[in-house]
């Protein structure tokens, strides 16, 4: 593909695009038109830019590429969930998911190709981390799902979660740049409070986000409030302990006043006793928070197994007794490997 060698036009800021046109003896207001095509209208090709003359389109083509993603395959689950395998301009593939519920349509998007974190229960962890996604590759996943929401459900996209492949806080700058475009008027004009970033809990970056005054929501994949257990299933805990995490989250709340969501899976024989539930209830006291008890999605070997309904009910009871709200989240799209932790480019 020749396109790979040309500059990705969406890396340019509006001012840089204006300068390009000035240098080529064209009116700088063309930049505004092109910018609108690139972001608001998500043009995949310069020939779509019909309010530009042929010669201007040729000028752009000779200098730039639009490295748009391509939805390579789309699978639909019996429950309505849609999983997209998304091909990037360099041939790598990530997955993104549309999750329909009664009152929402949520886009679950990827931030990296593969993942470097090695959480023992996650299918994505089995893929090597290849690279970070660019802001426009993240943005394009959202646009693709927004279009599918309108086409297949006749409803607007309402929410976005960074719970696809990768760790968003290890690609922080690009994730924030994408969110800026998603929420800006020249992009999709979506509300930041409808966006949730989910992290394994990289404490330094949680503090940075708080300092940056971001306006989106934070979810932390906790899964255990006991260091020994958490370190054994999530190696990140070895360098970002629960104490450090608690401190970072307090800092986050102090600066942003935004409640934290903890994601938590209860597994048979790993964290399904009262002692673990009490540890979680205690941890939740550090910061205004709620808990999503996520159903486990098996990823082939039998090491991890969903705990009993009784254990989940016990967790809910203990959390309630300690004043923390909890919700049981059933999986969606399991039949097409689209559920949490199942994204592994199988197709």
Active site residues: 95, 340
Q: Give the residue, chosen from 182, 209, 336, 340, that forms a contact with ligand SAH under the rule CB under 6 A.
A: 340
Closest by alpha carbon to 228, among 240, 238, 243?
238
Q: Give the residue, chosen from 134, 240, 297, 316, that forms a contact with ligand SAH under the rule CB under 6 A.
A: 297
Q: Which is nearer to ligand SAH, 139 or 262 (CB)?
A: 262
Q: Which is nearer to ligand SAH, 95 or 136 (CB)?
A: 95
Stretch binding ligand SAH (CB under 6 A), from 51-59, 76-84, 188-196, 198-206: 198-206
Q: What is the Cα–Cα distance from 124 to 113, expressed in whole angstroms?
A: 9
> Which residue's CB atom is positioned nearest to ligand SAH?
341
Beta strand 105-108 with 112-113 is unpaired
Angle at 196 between CA 191 and CA 201, to 5 degrees: 150
Structure token digits, residue 163: 């719970």
**Contact flag: residue 21 with ligand SAH (CB under 6 A):** no
Q: Give the residue, chosen from 299, 314, 338, 344, that forms a contact with ligand SAH under the rule CB under 6 A.
A: 299
Q: Which is nearer to ligand SAH, 42 or 342 (CB)?
A: 342
**Contact flag: residue 203 with ligand SAH (CB under 6 A):** no
**Contact flag: residue 294 with ligand SAH (CB under 6 A):** yes
Helices 309-321 and 274-284: crossing angle in degrees, nearest 10, is 40
Q: What is the Cα–Cα distance from 49 to 190, expressed in whole angstroms?
A: 24
Stretch binding ligand SAH (CB under 6 A), from 63-71, 81-89, 174-182, 294-302: 294-302
Other CB atoms within 10 A of residue 39 CB: 20
Please give the DSSP secondary-structure letter assigned to residue 308. P
Cα radius of gyration rounded to whole Å, the chain: 22
Q: Give the residue, chosen from 42, 96, 199, 203, that forms a contact with ligand SAH under the rule CB under 6 A.
A: 199
Least distance (Å) between residue 128 CB and ligand SAH: 15
Is-contact 217 159, C-beta < 8 A? Answer: no
Residue with token string 């090695």: 118
Those residues whose C-beta lies under 8 Å from the C-beta of residue 255, and which sit 6 or more positions away, are 210, 211, 213
Q: Is residue 231 classed exposed, middle or buried when 0-12, 13-18 and 19+ CB atoms within 10 A define those classes? A: middle
Query: Strand, coil or helix: what is 71?
Result: strand
How many residues contact ligand SAH, by CB under 6 A? 16
Stretch binding ligand SAH (CB under 6 A), from 61-69, 135-143, 278-286, 295-303: 295-303
Q: Which is nearer to ligand SAH, 36 or 118 (CB)?
A: 118
Q: What is the Cα–Cα distance from 4 to 10, expressed in whole angstroms?
A: 13
**Residues between 49 and 108 with contacts to ligand SAH, criterion CB under 6 A:** none
Q: Which is nearer to ligand SAH, 60 or 242 (CB)?
A: 242
Between 141 and 180, how does the x/- string for binding to ligand SAH read (CB under 6 A)? ----------------------x---x-------------
Q: In residues, how long is the chain?
A: 347
Between 253 and 272, how does the x/- string for binding to ligand SAH read (CB under 6 A)? ----------x-x-------
Least distance (Å) between residue 7 CB and ligand SAH: 30
Q: Which is nearer to ligand SAH, 263 or 272 (CB)?
A: 263
- How does DSSP assign 158-203, residue by residue? -EEEE-SSS-GGGSHHHHHHHHHHHHSTTTT---GGGEEEEES--H
Between 122 and 141, how does the x/- string for binding to ligand SAH read (CB under 6 A)? x-------------------
Residues in contact with ligand SAH by CB under 6 A are: 121-122, 163, 167, 198-200, 221, 263, 265, 294, 296-297, 299, 340-341
């Amino acid at each position: 593909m020749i396109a790979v060698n040309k500059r990705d036009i969406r890396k340019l800021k509006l001012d840089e695009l204006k300068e390009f046109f000035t240098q080529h003896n064209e009116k700088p207001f063309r930049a505004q038109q092109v910018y609108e095509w690139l972001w608001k209208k998500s043009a995949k090709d310069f020939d779509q830019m019909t309010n530009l003359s042929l010669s201007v389109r040729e000028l752009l083509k000779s200098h730039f590429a639009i490295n748009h993603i391509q939805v390579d395959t789309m699978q639909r689950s019996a429950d309505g969930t849609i999983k997209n395998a998304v091909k990037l301009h360099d041939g790598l593939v990530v997955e993104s998911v549309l999750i329909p519920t009664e009152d929402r349509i949520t886009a679950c998007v990827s931030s990296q190709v593969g993942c470097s974190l090695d959480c023992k229960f996650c299918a994505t962890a089995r893929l090597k981390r290849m690279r970070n996604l660019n802001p426009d590759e993240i943005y394009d996943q959202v646009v693709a799902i927004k279009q599918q929401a309108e086409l297949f459900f006749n409803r607007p996209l309402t929410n976005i979660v960074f719970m696809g492949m990768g760790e968003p806080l290890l690609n922080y700058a690009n994730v924030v740049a994408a969110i800026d475009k998603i929420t800006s008027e020249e992009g999709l004009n979506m509300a930041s409070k409808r966006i949730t970033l989910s992290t394994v809990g990289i404490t330094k970056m949680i503090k940075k986000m708080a300092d940056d005054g971001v306006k989106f929501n934070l979810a932390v994949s906790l899964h255990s409030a006991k260091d020994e257990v958490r370190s054994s299933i999530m190696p990140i805990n070895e360098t970002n302990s629960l104490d450090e995490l608690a401190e970072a989250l307090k800092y986050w709340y102090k600066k942003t006043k935004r409640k934290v969501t903890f994601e938590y899976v209860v597994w048979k024989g790993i964290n399904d006793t009262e002692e673990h539930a009490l540890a979680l209830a205690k941890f939740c006291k550090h910061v205004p928070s709620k808990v999503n008890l996520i159903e486990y999605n098996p990823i082939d070997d039998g090491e991890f197994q969903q705990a009993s309904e009784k254990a989940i009910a016990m967790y809910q009871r203990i959390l309630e007794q300690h004043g923390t709200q909890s919700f049981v989240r059933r999986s969606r799209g399991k039949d097409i490997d689209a559920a949490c932790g199942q994204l592994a480019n199988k197709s």
